[in-house]
Amino acid sequence: MQSPQSPELVAVLAGRRVAALTGAGISTDSGIPDYRGPDSPPSNPMTIRQFTSDPVFRQRYWARNHLGWRHMDETRPNAGHRALAALEHAGVVTGVVTQNVDLLHTKAGSVNVVNLHGSYAQVTCLSCGDTTTRAALAEQLETLNPGFVERIDAVGGLAVAPDADAVVADTESFRYLDCRRCGGMLKPDIVYFGENVPKERVAQAYSLIDGAEALLVVGSSLAVFSGYRFVRHAAALGIPVAIVNRGRTRGDDLATVKVDGGCSELLALLCDELSPMPLR
């Protein structure tokens, strides 16, 4: 384990074109808790089987998401997101593969972003493939459920998960919608546990790493294969792998250097050391 001011981290990345892989840990400083960090609250992430097989479960989910997506939409990038964006604009970072659905990399100014697990901001019909924005659906749900948001806000203490889910007690009265085009099941454009990442996104991520000279992993335990496979791919290519995360990760044995520390602090340091452009 290296110091947060690790010269080894800078040395591994300096002078190289760097692809970044990020997880929920990079967004904790923006107020979105991660799943597996040392201080993370207990969480049972949505599975695709639960969502598609049980209308009562879908009702509970949409009630919680009706509140959770708003919190995520209002969340702002932190210094870590801004540092990666600055490094991309400086030509150091070639792009970001993120396991997050919060769009904070794009909000921070990153251009080449692969949203591996989708986005909280879009909704898709599982039958006809029609898409709509989450904001447009929210307006329709507001009409169906007048006063719901205000009642929950009055209770306070809303806890939001990395997939825009939220802990809400009163969901039994909530009314949700099916696709207005075909009557099919609507689902947020988020890859749930047990669901496959679309092949084109995986191909984009592999291509980004193939074109890089180092891989920087930030804020991911790499516990799920959808992220871990890219660390294995980089190691197989023989390019250095640098990992920044609080606590152990599944990829530690493949890392050239591992730093145990906060994402925002370390990425701001890297931006200062690797980029001629000042971080704003």
**Residue-wise pLDDT tens digits, 203-240:** 999 999 999 999 999 999 999 999 999 999 999 999 99
39 has binding-site annotation: yes
Residue with the two structure tokens 């290519």: 237
Q: Please identify, among 162, 190, 218, the residue that sits at the C-terminal boundary of a domain.
A: 190
Asked whether the predicted pLDDT for residue 157 surpasses 80, the reply is no
| Same-domain check for residues 132 and 7 | no
| Same-domain check for residues 127 and 146 | yes
221 has binding-site annotation: yes
Give the integer Cα–Cα distance in Å for 156 and 190. Answer: 26
Catalogue the active-site residues.
117
CATH of the domain at 175: 3.30.1600
| Same-domain check for residues 153 and 92 | no
Q: Are 263 and 80 in contact (CB under 8 A)?
A: yes
| Same-domain check for residues 203 and 90 | yes
Asked whether the predicted pLDDT for residue 112 surpasses 80, the reply is yes
Per-residue tokens: 210: 């193939």
Q: Please identify, among 141, 164, 190, the residue that sits at the C-terminal boundary of a domain.
A: 190
20-49 average pLDDT score: 77
pLDDT of amino acid 201: 97
| Same-domain check for residues 125 and 98 | no
pLDDT of amino acid 17: 97
**Residue-wise pLDDT tens digits, 170-182:** 677 899 999 999 9
| Same-domain check for residues 214 and 178 | no
CATH of the domain at 235: 3.40.50.1220
| Same-domain check for residues 132 and 25 | no
pLDDT of amino acid 68: 85
| Same-domain check for residues 130 and 5 | no
pLDDT band, residue 162 (cuts 50/70/90): low
**Residue-wise pLDDT tens digits, 37-77:** 444 444 567 789 999 999 988 998 998 898 889 889 999 99
30 has binding-site annotation: yes
| Same-domain check for residues 168 and 90 | no
Instruction: Report strand pairing: 131-133 vs 118-125.
Output: antiparallel
pLDDT of amino acid 256: 97
Per-residue tokens: 55: 């209308």
The residue among 276 and 243 whose pLDDT is bigger is 243
271 has binding-site annotation: no
| Same-domain check for residues 15 and 125 | no
Neighbours of 111 (CB within 10 A): 11
Q: Please identify, among 160, 190, 220, the residue that sits at the C-terminal boundary of a domain.
A: 190
Number of domains in the chain: 2
- Give the range of the structural domain holding residue 57, as residue numbers without chain letter: 41-74+119-190
SS (H, E, C) the chain: CECCCCHHHHHHHCCCCEEEEECHHHHHHHCCCCCCCCCCCCCCCCEHHHHHHCHHHHHHHHHHHHHHHHHHHHCCCCHHHHHHHHHHHCCCEEEEEECCCCCHHHHHCCCCEEECCEEEEEEEECCCCCEEEHHHHHHHHHHHCCCHHHHHHHHCCCCECCCCCECCCCCCCCCCCCCCCCCCCEEEEECCECCCCCHHHHHHHHHHHHCCCEEEEECCCCCCHHHHHHHHHHHHHCCCEEEECCCCCCCHHHCCEEECCCHHHHHHHHHHHHCCCCCC
pLDDT of amino acid 40: 42
Q: Are 164 and 93 in contact (CB under 8 A)?
A: no
| Same-domain check for residues 88 and 125 | no
Give the integer Cα–Cα distance in Å for 68 and 162. Answer: 9
119 has binding-site annotation: no
In whole angstroms, how large is the CA radius of gyration of the chain?
19
Q: With 0-12 CB in 10 A as exposed, 13-18 as middle and 19+ as buried, what is 10?
A: middle
Neighbours of 29 (CB within 10 A): 17
98 has binding-site annotation: no
| Same-domain check for residues 48 and 171 | yes
